[in-house]
C-alpha cells in the first residue's frame, strides 16, 4: 500500500454488500438447515417461551428475540436481500443466548460452538459471493468491511468509547493503554487518516483486543469480542484481497514499484519458500496475518494463499529473513 493515504474515490459509492440471488438463496438455505440439524441447535429452533419457562426478566435483557425457525421463514419468504442481513439474524440468535445465560452454562457454550460452526459456512458463502462485487479501491472496501462489522449484532458493545467513569471502571485506563472503538475508527476512515489498510485493520482489532484484555477471554464480553474479531479478520482476508481495483492479468508479473519488493526479490523469496517445511510456511502466514493481512487470501476453511505482490516492504523483509534463516538452520554442518 502506497503512503499516499487511503483516499476514497468519490465516484465509488453505493456498495451495499453481497446480494442474495436465487443461487445464493439455495446456498443459504442449505447452510441454515445444516446448522439447524445439529443436536445442540434444538433449543434455538423456535422462539423462547419465557412465560412458560418462568423467565420474567428475559424481555428486559433480550431486546431483539430471534430463532433459527424465524430465520428460515424469512429466508423462504425472500425477506433477505443481502447475505449480511441473513447472517446477522443468525448471529442474533447466538448473541441473545450468550447475553441472557452465564458464560459457564450449557446454553452459552452451545451458542458459542454453533456460532463458530455457522461462521465457517458463512465464510464460504462470502467467498462464493465476492465475485459479484465490482472492482473498488481499498478504502471503499474498508468502508464496506467496517459497515458490515458495525451491523454485527454482537458489536453493540464496541460501537462507542467505553464509559469508564459512568461504569465505575477505575482501573480501565491502567489496563488498557490505548482505548479504541468502532465509531472512532469510522470517523478516522472517513477523514482519510489511515495511510494503509493494515493501519485501519489494526485499530479495529485493537477494539476487540482491549475488551479481551480487560474482561478476560472467557468472560461473556471476551468471548463475544473474540467471535467478532474472527469475523473481522476473515472479512479483511476476503474483501481486501479479492477483486481489488485493476488487478494485473493472470500470469503477468506486477511491475516494480518504488518502496515495494522488486520482481527479483520476490522470485528469490518464492524459491526460498519451496525449501521450507509446512511449519515454517505456517509461521510466515502468522507473521503476514499480524502485520500485512492485505496479502492473505483465504480459500475455504483451511487453505490460505499468500499474495507476495501485496506484501509491504517491512513485512517482506521480515518473512524473507525468516525464510533464509530457516534454510541455513536446515543445511548440514560442514
| 285-332 pLDDT, tens digit each | 888 887 777 777 665 444 567 888 878 888 899 999 999 998 888 776
Q: What percent of the chain has pLDDT over 70?
A: 87
**In whole numbers, what is the pLDDT of the chain averaged over residues?**
86
What is the structure's pLDDT at 303? 59
What is the structure's pLDDT at 4? 38
Indicate the burial class of 115 (C-beta count within 10 angstroms; 0-12, 13-18, 19 or more): buried
| 166-224 pLDDT, tens digit each | 999 999 999 999 999 999 999 999 998 888 888 899 999 999 999 999 999 999 999 99
Q: Which of 185, 217, 247 is the last residue of a domain?
A: 247
What is the structure's pLDDT at 243? 37
CATH code at 205? Answer: 1.20.920.10
Q: Do both 165 and 97 map to the same domain?
A: no
Q: Which residue has the higher pLDDT, 10 or 307?
A: 307
| 89-131 pLDDT, tens digit each | 999 999 999 999 999 999 999 999 999 999 999 999 998 888 7
Q: Which of 110, 132, 154 is the last residue of a domain?
A: 132
Upper half-sphere CA count for residue 246 (Cβ side, 13 Å): 2
Upper half-sphere CA count for residue 89 (Cβ side, 13 Å): 20
Q: Is residue 285 part of a domain?
A: yes
Domains contained in the chain, number: 3
Q: Do both 34 and 82 map to the same domain?
A: yes
Q: Is residue 37 part of a domain?
A: yes
Please answer whether residues 44 and 68 qualify as being in contact, where contact means their C-beta atoms are separated by less than 8 angstroms. Answer: yes
Amino acid at each position: 500500500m502506497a503512503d499516499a493515504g487511503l483516499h476514497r474515490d468519490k465516484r465509488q459509492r453505493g456498495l451495499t454488500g453481497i446480494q442474495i440471488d436465487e443461487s445464493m438463496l439455495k446456498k443459504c438455505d442449505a447452510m441454515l438447515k445444516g446448522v439447524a440439524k445439529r443436536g445442540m441447535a434444538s433449543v434455538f429452533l423456535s422462539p423462547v417461551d419465557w412465560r412458560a419457562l418462568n423467565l420474567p426478566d428475559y424481555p428486559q435483557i433480550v431486546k431483539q428475540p430471534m430463532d433459527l425457525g424465524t430465520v428460515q421463514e424469512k429466508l423462504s419468504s425472500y425477506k433477505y436481500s443481502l447475505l449480511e442481513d441473513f447472517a446477522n439474524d443468525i448471529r442474533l440468535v447466538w448473541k441473545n443466548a450468550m447475553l441472557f445465560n452465564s458464560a459457564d452454562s450449557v446454553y452459552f457454550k452451545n451458542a458459542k460452538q454453533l456460532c463458530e460452526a455457522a461462521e465457517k459456512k458463512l465464510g464460504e458463502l462470502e467467498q462464493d459471493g465476492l465475485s459479484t462485487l465490482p472492482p473498488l479501491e481499498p478504502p471503499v472496501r474498508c468502508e464496506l468491511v467496517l459497515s458490515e462489522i458495525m451491523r454485527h449484532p454482537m458489536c453493540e458493545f464496541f460501537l462507542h468509547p467505553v464509559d469508564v467513569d459512568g461504569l465505575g471502571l477505575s482501573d480501565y485506563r491502567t489496563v488498557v493503554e490505548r482505548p479504541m472503538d468502532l465509531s472512532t475508527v469510522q470517523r478516522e476512515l472517513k477523514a482519510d487518516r489511515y495511510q494503509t489498510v493494515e493501519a485501519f485493520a489494526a485499530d479495529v482489532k485493537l477494539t476487540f483486543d482491549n475488551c479481551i484484555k480487560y474482561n478476560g477471554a472467557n468472560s461473556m464480553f471476551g468471548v463475544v469480542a473474540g467471535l467478532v474479531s474472527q469475523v473481522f479478520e476473515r472479512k479483511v482476508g476476503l474483501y481486501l484481497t479479492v477483486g481489488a481495483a485493476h488487478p494485473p492479468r493472470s500470469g503477468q508479473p506486477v511491475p516494480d514499484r518504488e518502496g515495494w519488493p522488486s520482481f527479483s526479490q520476490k522470485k528469490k523469496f518464492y524459491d526460498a519458500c519451496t525449501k521450507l517445511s509446512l511449519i515454517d510456511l505456517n509461521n510466515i502466514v502468522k507473521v503476514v496475518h499480524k502485520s500485512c493481512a492485505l496479502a492473505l487470501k483465504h480459500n475455504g476453511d483451511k487453505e490460505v494463499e499468500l499474495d507476495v505482490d501485496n506484501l509491504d516492504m517491512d513485512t517482506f523483509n521480515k518473512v524473507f529473513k525468516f525464510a533464509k534463516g530457516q534454510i541455513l538452520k536446515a543445511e548440514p554442518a560442514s
